[in-house]
Every structure is written in C-alpha cells, then in structure tokens.
Amino acid sequence: MSALLDTIERTRREVCTLHAELTRYQLVVWTAGNVSARVPGHDLMVIKPSGVSYDDLAPELMVVTDLYGIPVSGASTGNGNMAEWSNPALTPSSDSAAHAYVYRHMPEVGGVVHTHSTYATAWAARGEAVPCVLTMMGDEFGGSIPVGPFALIGDDSIGRGIVETLQASHSPAVLMQNHGPFTIGKDARAAVKAAVMCEEVARTVHIARQLGEPIPIDEAKIESLFERYQNVYGR
C-alpha cells in the first residue's frame, strides 16, 4: 500500500506542476482546461479539480479517480486507518469521463490534456483539420491534426470521439468540433507538449493562409519526417 501511495503522490505532484505549463504558454483562461495522468500500474488517474483557479492549484488538491472518472477517496492502510487520496470536498474536472474513456481504450496513453487554446479552438469551431504544411507537423503529428465529432460534455461521448479519431491517425492531438483540442501522450508531459505544439502550428498555419494558400507536403515525405523524428531524432 505504501508503494501505491507514493506513486499517487508522485503523480499528483507531476500533474499539478504541468498545469503551470498551460498558463505559461497561454493555452487556458480562468479555470478552463485540464491535465490528467494515469497512475502507473493501476486503474486510476489523477486530474485537476473542477472550478479551482490555476494560481490556487496544489498537489494535494489533485483528484484521484478510477478509469470511469469516479473519485476514489482512499484505501485502508492495513492498520485500521484510512489513507486519503483526494479531498472529498473537491470534484474532478467535468472532462473526467472523457479522459477516463481514453485511458480505458488506449492503454498506451499515460497522459491527456484539454485546452481551449485560441487558434486550435478556432479551427475546431470551423470543423476543419489543420493541414500538414510544416515539417514540424510532419515530425510531431505525422500529418494533419484531425477533427473529431461534435459531442456534448457530461458523459463519455467526447472520449469516444477522441479514441475513434486518434486510433486512425498518427496525431497525438484532435480538434473536437465546436469544442477544442484534446491531446494524448505516453505520459502527461508528452501530452502537454502536444498541446503546446498543436496551438503553435494552428497559429502558424492560420497566418500562412492570410498570405496565400500554404504548400502541402507530400504524404511520403510526411511519413519519412514522422519516422525519423519519432524513432531517431526526437528520441
């Protein structure tokens, strides 16, 4: 049990710290957006609490849930005491069901991020994929950043759309139509990086289109860029 508690505490610290990257790169406003991480080796995840300001986040405020987004308050320590995992007064992010669905159906994913970053969300509002016209996109996304279906928040509908879209794509990012970007990664840090890069290329391609029609990259060259970056250079 102590090993599990140590793992949970480590994951909570990591998730809390990574939320600062969302504000640093101006990917979120107010209390919107969230980072989650799978608890390694367990059917648990850690996610931001709902409605708490980024300035007020602390590791002990991160909420532990099962892989259905249901809060798990704690467990017996074996000596008659209860080890608290989450503050029962806090509720997990409203996106928890979506994150949890991803973890259940994509076991290789260790981190999920959701933002409403301006440029990526603008593409989502148009229901338009960001075309692969930059070598950086070939490296990071292996092609265009796809659009996922419209889905209402509250159950795992968004999660289903994320999984269905990303399972057919190299991309670690999806633009959920009329909503915003969700990103995945082997861990939470990788998912945050994907969110930062998603906003950067969404902005750059938008600017390029103001100047004229961007030049698409040949599919074979995209595959070559992705293979090299993911397996040689990027590692």
Distance, CA of 211 to CA of 204 (rounded, Å): 11
pLDDT at 80: 44
CA angle 45, 51, 54 (to 5 degrees): 80
pLDDT at 77: 45
Contacts of 47 (CB under 8 A, 6+ apart): 15, 34, 35, 36, 62, 63, 65, 92, 93, 95, 96, 99
pLDDT at 75: 57
Tens of each residue's pLDDT in the chain, 235 residues: 689 999 999 999 999 999 999 999 999 999 999 999 999 999 999 999 999 999 999 999 999 999 999 999 775 444 444 456 778 889 999 999 999 999 999 999 999 999 999 999 999 999 999 999 999 999 999 999 999 999 999 889 999 999 999 999 999 999 999 999 999 999 999 999 999 999 999 999 999 999 999 999 999 999 999 999 999 976 6
> Domains of the chain, with CATH numbers?
2-233 (3.40.225.10)
Distance, CA of 54 to CA of 16 (rounded, Å): 9
Total-model pTM: 0.95
Asked if residue 198 lies in contact with residue 183, where contact means CB atoms within 8 angstroms, the answer is yes
Q: CA neighbours within 13 Å on the CB side: how many for 41?
A: 8
**Helix axes 118-126 and 188-211, enclosed angle (nearest 10):** 70
pLDDT at 88: 84
Strands 63-66 and 74-76: unpaired
